[in-house]
Amino acid sequence: MRVLEPSFLRALRDLTRERNVLLILDEIQCGLGRTGHFFAYEGLDLVPDMLTVAKPLANGLPIGAVLVNEPVAGAVQPGDHGTTFGGGPLVASVAEHVVHRLSDPALLLLEHVRETGCWLHGQLTALMQRTGKIRAVRGMGFMFGVDTHEPAAAVIGRAFANGLLLVSAGEHTIRLLPPLIMTRDELQAGLAILEAALVGE
């Protein structure tokens, strides 16, 4: 769970152009609204040559997709690329619905994730300062890594006992990926359980 510096990614984009190499971004987890942008790269002032998407695309159904720019698309011929989880009519229909819902400006979903994500970052930083049990908070939107002093599994176990589901992203990192529609009140309730788990309750 690391947020790459925009300057690093822009330098990487420049280098790939200089060397005539494709820039491929993996947005299987961070894409489709997770960072508060439809795709995470949209907040970085660059465009990749290829982009991979999957997990949220069909709202839990198995699907994967690769988005490419025109030069790459022109180089791919039928039969060059196969897929296990792409193209089925049911999941493709669900994916179309998900894309329309996420990109509907009337729902203000991406704005909600950006604004509430900034609030959540502040809450997690305050939790770190208040408890002394967190080493670092990294992330944006609704995608955070919380580094703990003790093994993450211990904190996750105590949180689970109090009704909060968490997952690790390494021995000392808790990964937070709340649903994009969560309210501040719901997130605050989860943060209270997380705080209790951090201090050993």
Using one digit for the tens of pLDDT, what is the confidence trace for 76-125? Answer: 888 887 777 767 899 999 999 999 999 898 888 999 999 999 999 999 99
Are 56 and 33 a contacting pair, CB within 8 Å? Answer: yes
Give the C-alpha separation, 199 to 183, whole Å: 25
pLDDT number for residue 86: 67
* Six-digit token string for 90: 């049911």
CATH topology of domain 6-103: Aspartate Aminotransferase; domain 2 (3.40.640)
* Six-digit token string for 168: 């690790």
Residue 66, strand partner residues: 52
Give the C-alpha separation, 140 to 158, whole Å: 25
pLDDT number for residue 81: 77
pLDDT number for residue 113: 96
Domain ranges of the chain: 6-103, 109-198
pLDDT number for residue 84: 75
State the pTM of this model. Answer: 0.89
Q: Do domains 6-103 and 109-198 have the same CATH topology?
A: no
- CATH class of domain segment(s) 109-198: alpha beta
pLDDT number for residue 201: 72
Q: Which residues of the chain have pLDDT under 70?
A: 86
